[in-house]
Amino acid sequence: MTADDFKGMPVQGAARIHQGATMGQIYNAALRARPDVPAIVDDRISLSYAALAQLSARIARLYGARGMGRSDTVAFLVGNRADAVAAMIAAQLAGLRSVSLHPMASEADHVFVLQEAQAKLLVVDNAAFGERARTLAQACGVQLLPLDEGEFGPSLMRAAAAMDDSEVVVGDDPTEVIKLGFTGGTTGRSKGILHTHRTSVTMLQYALATYEWPQRIRYLVTTPISHAASAMILPTLMRQGTVYLCNKFSPADFLRRVARDRINLAFLVPTQIYGLLDCAELDAADVSSLELVLYGAAPIAQVRLADALRRIGPVFGQLYGQAEAPMCITYLSRADHDLAHPERLRSCGRVIFGNQVRLLDKDLQEVAPGEVGELCVRGPLVMEGYLNRPEENEKVFAGGWLHTGDMARMDSAGYLYLVDRAKDMIISGGFNVYPSEVENCLAQHPAVALSAVIGIPDPKWGEAVVAVVVTQPGASVKQEEIMAYVVREKGVVNAPKQVFFVTDLPLTALGKIDRKTLRGQYWSDQSRQIA
């Protein structure tokens, strides 16, 4: 047939023929896969696929009984619990907008997010966050739905038990906003990020096509399900695997769980990997079941990644994304974690098929090969925009690209190397200094366990490079030695003008180094008087 043969054919419903699936539809299909097999396991309960499907359906109807209508916003303040996962799935089935509050965020952050998102209902782990729940209910007027019995009423599972557990007839409009994410807020007021089914389904498809998933997944969740770790739950269910939930990470506990449950998939942030490497039990632990350890959310020191490959195994895969284009912009595969090519351990991988990526200068022109530019992306992975922030949308979508704020370069083989966040770059004496490059240098010093590099105002240099260093246990090193080491390895421009030694570094709720807090600590009158 030719195009002319289609002329005059009826077009009724044509707009729906090519529309994508919704997350509710995908969950309904996934939960039918293996009725009697464990789907979600935490330290208290285990839910089979059938039980998870029934509980999710009941909670979806409970939302309706509590007055929640389609596209209303439900918020979650929960730990890593099986019933919390069911409540999050139920929100997808009910067609609600979801927003997760990070368990470690401040009260002010929680109030801001609830008010900005206009949340009507808060599902809360009241055993852990009862006091915070009382405050939020009073400050924001949200209805509380507690996971456990107590002052806020019957537990979620008891309240849901009265509801119908048959499969929910879900919505089929992929253009609905289903998720509100919020930026970390470490550089100012947090922004709400609007995601439709399109973003979530695209992320799911890219991840399934790109990551090297085990055949029968046994996934251990060790970071909050409110953030990146939850992205691997649905792929695990779609591949008929089992999700194991750990509510609080410790290196020794992680190693015990891997050995006991024969875990073959995990997601870790770099600080957790460092904890494993520094754990006395690692070398004697049985980690032979691990097939894929995904990591991301923050830069990782090349020397420590190499150590992890030697001691844990060639099982690491790095994902790169951001809240505005989640998880799946680039991927550095297990095979690319090759000790014979150590330079690639600095890379965040190659662009995942389906994304368009360009490195642009301040005039929105593509930089020359090998040069540093801002990493910008297009494609169905990108958010709809920011909630109620049209002026921010204009900035972040300038020139028809999502501007990630990450500075990067690309080599001739297509590997991308993040050099730093644009906002973290230090301009010292007219030269650009990228903190992550100095931190990677410091990580190779035998006395340095962890470091953070920031710029502080300086009358001579404009900004002075300052290193905040945590030393290895028992190690002793002087400021002058650190400065001389960087001069030797990276040149005088990158060398810190001052070094502060501390016992630990402040971290954000996501486990990243909190540079905003560090700047607040060291932007004092005294620290500005650097010679």
pLDDT digits (tens, 9 = 90+) for 249-270: 999 999 999 999 999 999 998 8
Superfamily of domain 211-422 in the CATH hierarchy: ANL, N-terminal domain (3.40.50.12780)
Least confident of 46-50, 69-73, 328-332, 430-434: 430-434
CATH class of 20-35+49-196: alpha beta
CB atoms under 10 Å from CB of 410, counted, come to: 22
Confidence band (pLDDT; 50, 70, 90) for 511? low
What local confidence, expressed as pLDDT, does residue 509 receive? 61
Q: Is the pLDDT of residue 13 over 90?
A: no
DSSP notation for 453-481: EEEEEETTTEEEEEEEEEEPTT----HHH
DSSP notation for 295-336: E-SS---HHHHHHHHHHT-S-EEEEEEETTEEEEEEEE-TTT
Q: Is the pLDDT of residue 530 over 70?
A: no
What does the pLDDT look like over 16-50, one tens digit per residue?
Answer: 788 889 999 999 999 998 899 999 999 999 999 99
Q: What is the overall mean pLDDT for the chain?
A: 90
What local confidence, expressed as pLDDT, does residue 376 receive? 97
Contact 282, 276 (CB under 8 A): yes
Q: Do domains 211-422 and 425-528 have the same CATH topology?
A: no
Q: Is the pLDDT of residue 218 over 70?
A: yes
Confidence band (pLDDT; 50, 70, 90) for 434? confident
What local confidence, expressed as pLDDT, does residue 33 receive? 83
What's the mean pLDDT in 262-281?
Answer: 93
Q: Is 350 helix (H, G, I), strand (E, B) or coil?
A: strand
What's the mean pLDDT in 285-290?
Answer: 98
What does the pLDDT look like over 129-145, one tens digit per residue?
Answer: 999 999 999 999 999 99
Least confident of 148-157, 342-351, 463-472, 485-494: 485-494
What local confidence, expressed as pLDDT, does residue 253 receive? 97
What local confidence, expressed as pLDDT, does residue 257 receive? 98
Separation in Å, CA 346 to CA 307, 318, 402, 491:
14, 10, 23, 19
What's the mean pLDDT in 362-371?
Answer: 94
Contact 465, 496 (CB under 8 A): yes
pTM for this prediction: 0.82
Pick the CATH number of 425-528 from 3.90.226.10, 3.40.1020.10, 3.30.300.30, 3.40.50.300: 3.30.300.30
Angle between helix 270-277 and 251-261 (nearest 10) = 90
What's the mean pLDDT in 107-129?
Answer: 94
* Residue extents of the structural domains in the chain: 20-35+49-196, 211-422, 425-528
Distance CA 255, CA 257 (A): 6
What local confidence, expressed as pLDDT, does residue 354 receive? 96
